[in-house]
A and B are shown apart, each in its own frame.
Chain A
Amino acid sequence: MYSNINLPRQWSRLSYIYRTLTTLEGQTLPQSTKSSDGISPPPRIPRGPTDILQALAATVGPDPTAAHYKYHDDPYLIPLSNFRKRSYALSAEAGRKAAAWIRDEHAELFNTREWDPPGKMKTPYFNADPHIDAFAPKPLYNDESKVTEEDLKYTINNALLEDSLKIFQLLGGTSGVNEELRIAFLQLLCFYNEKEPDSMEWLEERWFSANIRERQAATWKLGGLADKIFESLEPKTSEAYCCIIQGMAKYYQAERAYVLTQEAKDNGIKLSTSVYNSLLGCIGFLKEGTALRTETLKSLLVEMEEQGISPNNETLTSCLRSISAWGGGKMLQQLALQIVAEFKKLGIEPGLSAYYYLLCLFCKERGPRVDILSGILNDLEKRESLEPKEPTDTNFFITAMGVCSDHLQDINLAERLHALLMKDDNYKLVGDAYKESIYYRHFVTVACRHAPFERTTQLLDMLVPNVYVPEPTVMEEIIKTLEVGGAGDRLAQVWSQLVVFGIAKRAKLVERLLSAMCSCYQYQENEVKEKMRAAAADVLRYSQLAEDKEETKDLRSPTQKLSATTLSNIIELCSDTQDKSDPNWDTVSEALQKLRRSEAVGVPNKPQVLADVAQKAATVGKAGIAAVAVTYLAECGFEEAISASTQVLGVMLNRPQEEVKQLLQERQGLDSLHPSALAIADAYHLAKTGAPAQDLDTSTSSESDSESSSEDE
Chain B
Amino acid sequence: MLTRVQFRRNFRLITRCLSDKPSDGEEKTPEIKVKPEKKTDSSKEKIQELLKLMMTEPKISESEYREKFATAPDVLGKRKQKADVIEAKTEKIEESITKAASEVAQAIGGDVKQTEAELLSKVLGKINQSSTTLSDLLIGMKVDRSRDSDETLQSETRGQQVKRLVDKTRQSIQKTRFTQRKEKPTSTQITKKSLPQVNKIDIFSGEPLGIFRAKESNFGTKLEVWDKLKERELTLATTQPPANYFQKMILWTEQGKIWKFPINNEQGMEEEQNIHFSEHVFLDTHLEGWCPKKGPIRHFMELVCVGLSKNAFYTVQEKKDHIMWYKEYFESKKDILTEVGVWESQSKNAETTSV
Contact = CB atoms under 8 A, between A and B. Distances in A.
Contact of A603 (B166, B207, B239): B166
Contacts of A690: 157, 159-160
A508 B222 CA distance: 59
Could you say which of B69, B209, B240 has the most chain A C-beta atoms within 10 Å of its C-beta?
B240
Nearest to A369: B198
Given A203-B240, A637-B159, A273 B208 contact: no
Interface in B184-228: 189, 192, 195, 198-226, 228
Interface string B246-263: 111111011111001110
Given A159-B229, A388-B238, A637 B215 contact: no
B139 interface: no
B324 to A, nearest CB: 16
A341 B206 contact: yes
B165 A52 contact: no
Contacts of B238: 388, 393-394, 428-429
Contacts, number: 282
Given A340-B203, A368-B199, A690-B157, A289 B70 contact: yes
Interface in A331-348: 334, 336-342, 344-347
B161 to A, nearest CB: 6
Given A273-B219, A701-B154, A69 B242 contact: yes
Contacts of B224: 184, 187
Contacts of A370: 198-201
Interface residues of A, number: 128
A190 interface: yes
Contact of A275 (B159, B199, B220): B220
Nearest to B200: A371
Interface string A358-395: 10001000001111101110010000000011110110
Interface in A424-438: 427-431
A207 interface: yes
Contact of B225 (A47, A187, A431): A187
Contact of A200 (B160, B201, B236, B244): B236
A301 interface: yes
B198 A310 contact: no
A337 B158 contact: no
B300 interface: no
B178 interface: yes
Contacts of B247: 57, 69
Interface string B123-139: 00000000000000000
A357 to B, nearest CB: 12
Contacts of B109: none
A242 B241 contact: no
B216 to A, nearest CB: 8
Given A187-B226, A337-B203, A372-B201, A62 B243 contact: yes
A493 to B, nearest CB: 23
Most buried by A among B200, B226, B229: B226
B7 interface: no
A587 interface: no
Nearest to B161: A707
Given A341-B206, A342-B211, A50 B256 contact: no
Interface stretch (A33-41, A127-135, A141-149, A457-465): A127-135
Given A50-B253, A388-B237, A132 B268 contact: yes
B184 to A, nearest CB: 12
- CB-CB nearest 5 A-B residue pairs: A289-B70, A130-B268, A637-B159, A272-B220, A337-B206
